[in-house]
Chains A and B, each alone.
Chain A
Amino acid sequence: DIQMTQSPSALSASVGDRVSITCRASQNIDSYLSWYQQKPGRAPKLLIYAASTLQSGVPSRFSGSGSGTDFTLTISGLQLEDFATYYCQQSDIIPFTFGQGTKLEIK
């Protein structure tokens, strides 16, 4: 199975900050990488797919980059509603696997 490792596991930031979360795959997954946001008690929400394509309706302050094994989710200009847990997921090879999550908290 492909292992997905996110860093950091937790992150404190302030409204207006620019933050980045990284995701590393245990083998090459080309651009088969997605990012999700999950708020407490809610289902996850797709933010980015194919490593850098913004899902419809997602604010442009979210961006994704990378290919191969190393990927980054960047949020430019944090808003209050962005404090949540973020997961990466590979869709190159079954079983599809997720990172362990990064909890973004208010500083």
Chain B
Amino acid sequence: EVHLVESGGGLVKPGGSLRLSCAASGFTFSNAWLSWVRQAPGKGLEWVGRIKTVTDVGTTEYAASVKGRFTLSRDDSKNTLYLQLNSLKTEDTAMYYCTTAVYGFFDYWGQGTLVTVSS
């Protein structure tokens, strides 16, 4: 059974940084393309970014709203996906979900980790 467990969320001041983690199990992690999707409180879903497999050069792609501030990475030896969030803004406040991203649609989701950016 596929499990994705996010961690690392919390309260951070504007301009601050945070690193989210997503521990995966139940599938061959190194073969998986992965994404982060976020949801601001009471709002809809927003795709944040995607990372391909190492064999696909580990290519990363980002939404314009986070490009240059957020960085996706993966450690296949630990079956873990990361999202480094820098230069955080209040509008980055959201629940962040880790997902598997087969062909661009999101078939498995974690339970999410909440990031709150506030002074």
Residues of A near any B CB (own CB < 8 A): 1, 32, 34, 36, 38, 43-46, 49-50, 55, 87, 89, 91-92, 94-101
Contact = CB atoms under 8 A, between A and B. Distances in A.
Contacts of A38: 45
Interface size classification for chain B: 20 to 34
A46 to B, nearest CB: 5
Interface stretch (B17-25, B70-78, B79-87, B104-112): B104-112
A106 B100 CA distance: 32
A103 B30 CA distance: 36
Interface of B: 35, 37, 44-47, 50, 61, 63-64, 97, 103-112
Contacts of A97: 47
A36 B45 CA distance: 10
Given A91-B105, A98-B46, 14 more contacts: A1-B64, A32-B104, A34-B106, A36-B106, A43-B111, A44-B45, A44-B97, A44-B106, A45-B109, A46-B105, A49-B105, A55-B107, A87-B44, A89-B45
A67 to B, nearest CB: 15
> Which secondary structure dominates where chain B touches chain A?
strand
B119 to A, nearest CB: 27
Nearest to B65: A95
Contact of B106 (A32, A46, A50, A100): A46
Contact of B44 (A91, A94, A100): A100
A73 to B, nearest CB: 14
Task: Give 4 nearest A-B pairs by CB, closest first.
Answer: A91-B104, A43-B109, A34-B105, A96-B47
Contact of B61 (A1, A34, A91, A94): A94
A38 B106 CA distance: 13
A71 B110 CA distance: 27
Contacts of A1: 64
